[in-house]
Chains A and B, each alone.
Chain A
Amino acid sequence: MSFKVNKKGFYGDFGGAFIPEMLYPNIEELKQNYLKIIKDKVFQKEYHALLKEYAGRPTPLYYAKNLSELYHTNIYLKREDLLHTGAHKMNNTIGQILVAKRLGKKRIIAETGAGQHGVATATVCALMGMQCVVYMGETDIQRQAPNVARMKMLGSEVISVNSGSKTLKDATNEAIRDWISNPEDTYYIIGSVVGPHPYPDMVARLQSVISKEIKTQLMQKRMASSPDYVIACVGGGSNAAGAFYHFLENEKVKLIAVEAAGKGNDSGHSAATSVLGKIGIIHGSMTLLMQSEDGQITEPYSISAGLDYPGIGPLHAHLKATKRAEFVSVTDDEAMQWGLKLARMEGIIPAIESAHAFAVLDRQKFKPTDVVVINLSGRGDKDLNTYIHYFNL
């Protein structure tokens, strides 16, 4: 079975480009050029040099000894939290800004939820001397204040979005509207494997450096080319797409995607799209999304701003439909407790998004010989306020 996008931009039943005509020239331009650009040798050289020298790749594949002992198995953490700006998001923004430059664009726009993608975009714009506008929901601006300050310090304009639920979905709508209004000089750096084709494929390719390194590192450490499990959290799904990518066709590797259940999937306050969603269209892509019976997109909830999205990327919808990945949902409380547990056991404070992934360790029985890789997609600095309030620190 194939898990790569087909010529029409679909993964099975999911994907495509459901966009208004106003966006057609931009999407078409990108579609015609993205593979040529990112496969180009000069691009690859520049991209990998920046990942290495500027962003700090490769990130370690760390054997978590204390956790491994506790769970009687072999747990490795892919340390995307150590990447420049604190999350995997840089893999994508470095790649896309190089694409934007090659397309001759002068102005960059982006959406952000937790602020990690906004910061990663503001960072590469500062580096490349490009104008940067980041759309962010009013609710997220309040709960992720440090990241707002970082974007401003990096010279980016942050526009507060107060439509709808005032979170990631609405910030994405506003970024798309900006692009409609500025079709010639502007490039939209989408932060996840969502949006119209070719974005999901392009972002997955740029994030695939994560699983490529996991393969090499496992070979060095264990003389094995693949793990038994790869576990990653999914909001839109970019870190999971990157961590799964080079294992998609190797069915011996079990893939576990962890969604945010918020206050519980039956509570009406959840972001677990694969459980609560059905097929439809969001942000130009046919995928699973949370919606009313009438087809109105509903408001998700999670304590973590980065998982608070009512859809999932079309690749993930396909992984769910084909059962290639197992989908698990984890509540706010479980994730918060895991944030504390990881801090105490391994001396690592994770982003709340990433903390969700660890709860799988309590759900699934692993063999002592199993190799389990958890993608630690981001660090917890940005979430300190949420941790402080939750634990009365």
Chain B
Amino acid sequence: MNRITSKLQSKDKILSIYITAGYPKLADTVSVIQSLEKYGVDMIEIGLPYSDPLADGKTIQNSSTQALHNGMTTEVLFEQLQNIRKQVSIPLIIMGYFNPILQYGVEAFCQKCNEIGIDGLIIPDLPVELYEKQYKTLFKKYNLFNILLITPQTSEARIRAIDRISEGFIYAVSTASVTGKSLEFGENEMNYFQRIKNLKLRNPFLVGFGIHSAKTFEQATFYSKGAIIGSAFIKFITENNSARIKQFVASLKSN
């Protein structure tokens, strides 16, 4: 069974953290993943840095630029993760824009992910229709879940279509925004989360974008199976030593 499925079956209020591979230092990838698991994070999104991340705000853009500057590449990331399954057991997802994956070769990329023990991919600029037509069987072959996004603007019909081809979970973007905007969830967001919940989809949904505190984590997971924190974590390890990851994780559960 895919580790994402077993994790989601065994636990509620999933805490998923996004990290930028090769950030702050090139060699930090694995140790950051290990610390996050050690301090109770349930799932990790490993960001393959990209020069032009269209859906990301300043924080993740800057960490990506720094990681590329540090020498991170697709090849280097795979080398770093070579033994990751001897080191951690929680589900691991690679989040990357489509062009670097295309240049590596989509099948070669999927095969490598499978060898290493990656459980899913998030490719925000790979259109759903193209995935379904051209890559779905490939993802299946290598036991990779393709995690698809929905937003407050996504129509019910499209959410249902996305649900039909999704595996693992659906990534519900909390609000019309790029990553990194610290939000306080109000009525609009709550109504949106409730609306998704009421659809009783096949797949559970996790909320991402704007979550940065115990409060927003609680608000999101009141309706959803879990929540994803990206920019707030990147900001934290930019400003603090990665030795303080324990405090960061604890601060999210302090309610």
Contact = CB atoms under 8 A, between A and B. Distances in A.
* A and B bind: yes
A280 B176 contact: no
A16 B149 contact: no
A282 interface: yes
Contacts of A164: 51-52, 65
Contacts of A16: 127, 130
Interface residues of B, number: 40
Given A280-B102, A291-B99, A177 B57 contact: yes
B40 interface: no
A218 B128 CA distance: 47
Interface stretch (A107-115, A294-302, A353-361, A378-386): A294-302
A281 to B, nearest CB: 5
Given A169-B52, A295-B100, A281 B177 contact: no
Nearest to B72: A294
A127 interface: no
A293 interface: yes
Contact of A18 (B57, B104, B127): B127
Interface string B140-165: 00000000111101110010000000
A22 B99 CA distance: 18
B149 A22 contact: yes
A273 B61 CA distance: 25
Contact of A24 (B52, B73, B154, B177): B154
A180 B99 contact: no
Contacts of A25: 153-155
A177 B52 contact: no
A259 B127 CA distance: 30
Interface string A255-287: 000000000000000000000000011111000
B138 interface: no
B80 to A, nearest CB: 15
Contacts of A38: none
B176 A281 contact: no
A6 interface: no
Interface in A95-142: none
Contact of A295 (B58, B99, B178): B99
B177 to A, nearest CB: 5
A163 B57 CA distance: 11
A22 B68 CA distance: 26
B221 to A, nearest CB: 22
B99 A281 contact: yes
A297 B51 contact: yes
B116 interface: no
Given A17-B127, A18-B127, A21-B124, A294 B153 contact: no
B111 interface: no
Nearest to B162: A21
A106 B11 CA distance: 45
Contact of B104 (A184, A295, A297): A295
A180 B102 contact: no
B122 to A, nearest CB: 10
Most buried by A among B54, B68, B149: B54
Interface in B10-53: 50-52
Most buried by B among A16, A281, A295, A297: A295
B74 A295 contact: yes
Contacts of B254: none
A19 B125 contact: yes
A225 interface: no
Given A20-B149, A22-B149, A180-B177, A296 B124 contact: no
B207 interface: no
Interface in B77-124: 97-104, 124
B113 to A, nearest CB: 16
Nearest to B151: A22
B14 to A, nearest CB: 21
B250 interface: no
Contacts of A297: 51-52, 99
A21 B170 CA distance: 12
Most buried by B among A18, A19, A22, A298: A22
Interface in A1-41: 16-22, 24-25
A296 B181 CA distance: 25
A22 B50 contact: no
Contacts of B61: 163
A8 B19 CA distance: 35
6 contacts: A16-B130, A21-B124, A164-B65, A177-B54, A180-B55, A296-B68
